Amino acid sequence: MDKVNLGAKLGTFDAIFSPKIVARLNDYKIAVVKTKGEFVWHKHDDTDDFFLVLKGRLRIQLRGSEDVVLEPGELFVVPKGVEHCPCADEETHILLIEPAGTPNTGDAGGPLTAQEETI
Amino acid sequence: MDKVNLGAKLGTFDAIFSPKIVARLNDYKIAVVKTKGEFVWHKHDDTDDFFLVLKGRLRIQLRGSEDVVLEPGELFVVPKGVEHCPCADEETHILLIEPAGTPNTGDAGGPLTAQEETI
C-alpha cells in the first residue's frame, strides 16, 4: 500500500533501455525506463504498448506512418502489431504500461532484451 | 495514430469528477479527471485502480489503512476490493487507468456516477 514517486524511482538507476517495474495494475506492469539513442524496431502481436514521457523527448518511429514525437505530459499507445522503434536524442524518461511478461523488444529479441525487474 | 497531450485535453473541460477517456490500451481506458472536494467511498471488486497525479494533491482515503497522499509525478494503485475515497482540497488533475466499463463510483453508484465519454 505504498505510493510510487516516479522521480525518486528514476533516481535509483542509470541504465538505458532497462525498464524497471514500479507497480502492477491487475496483470499489467507499470514501469519506468530511461532511453537515449535508438532502440530496436519491433512489434507486439498480442498487445498495445503505452508510452508517457516524463522528461526529455521521445520520437516513436512507426512502420508505414509518420513518426510521433512526445514531450513531457504526452502519451501515445502503439497499436498491437504495429512495428515501431523509439528513439531519443537526449536522455528521456518514460512511463511504460504493458501486460506483465511482454518482452521490451517484442518479436525482435536481441541484446537489448531486458529481464523484468521490480524496484 | 495521434499522440495525446494531457494538458491540452484537460484544458477542454471544467467538470469535476467527470472522467474523460483520452486513449485506450487493449481493453483498458486511459482517462483524465479533475477532482476537488471529496468523492464517494467505493470499491471495485474486479479490478485494481490506477491513479497518477498530474497537478495538485490527491488524498486517497483507504478503509483500514492510512491515507495515501499523492503529488504530481506520484502514482498509486488501489488494490481490487479495497474501499477508498479520493479527496482533494484544491483542484487536482489525475490520470486514471481501469478496464473499460469500470464505473467511476464502483459498487457505490449514486449521483457522481459518470457515463464513459471520450474526448
Question: In DSSP terms, which residues pair with A69 in a beta bridge?
Answer: A59
pLDDT digits (tens, 9 = 90+) for B26-37: 999 999 999 999
Q: Which alpha helices (DSSP H) does chain A contain, by range?
A: 6-10
In the 8-state DSSP scheme, what is residue A64? Answer: T
Judge residue A47's burial from the number of C-beta atoms within 10 Å of its C-beta, 0-12 exposed, 13-18 middle, 19 or more buried: buried
Asked whether residue A1 carries a pLDDT value surpassing 90, the answer given is: no
pLDDT of A60 = 98
Which residues of chain B have a CB within 8 Å of the CB of A50?
23, 25, 30
Average pLDDT over residues A30-36: 98
B97/A73 Cβ within 8 A: no
Instruction: Give domain limits for chain B.
Output: 6-99
* A:B CB pairs within 8 Å: 84
Interchain CB contact of B16 with A (< 8 Å): no
B50/A77 Cβ within 8 A: no
Asked whether residue B1 carries a pLDDT value surpassing 90, the answer given is: no
User: Min CA distance, A61 vs chain B (Å)?
Assistant: 12
Q: Give the rounded percent of residues in chain B with a pLDDT score beyond 90.
A: 97
pLDDT of B45 = 96
User: Min CA distance, B115 vs chain A (Å)?
Assistant: 23
Tell me the residue type at B4.
V
Average pLDDT over residues B86-111: 95
Please name the residue of chain B whose CA is at the shortest distance from the CA of residue A24: B77
- Predicted TM-score (pTM) of the model is 0.96
Supply φ then ψ for residue B8, to 5 degrees. -65, -40
Interchain CB contact of B25 with A (< 8 Å): yes
A99/B75 Cβ within 8 A: no
Picking from A78, A52, A74, the residue whose alpha carbon sits closest to that of residue A63 is: A78
Q: How far apart are CA B110 and CA B108, in angstroms?
A: 6
pLDDT digits (tens, 9 = 90+) for A68-114: 999 999 999 999 999 999 999 999 999 999 999 999 999 999 989 99
Beta strand spans in A39-83 (E): 49-55, 58-62, 65-70, 74-78
Alpha carbon B107 to its chain's center: 15
User: Min CA distance, B30 vs chain A (Å)?
Assistant: 10
CATH superfamily to which A6-99 belongs: Jelly Rolls (2.60.120.10)
A36 Cβ partners below 8 Å, 6+ apart? A16, A88, A89, A90, A91, A92
Measure CA of the first residue to CA of the last residue in chain A; give whole Å: 15
Q: Give the rounded percent of residues in chain A with a pLDDT score beyond 70.
A: 100
pLDDT digits (tens, 9 = 90+) for B31-58: 999 999 999 999 999 999 999 999 999 9
Q: Using a CB cutoff of 8 Å and minimum separation of 24, what contacts does A10-17 make?
A: A10/A34, A10/A54, A10/A55, A10/A93, A12/A119, A13/A119, A16/A91, A17/A104, A17/A112, A17/A114
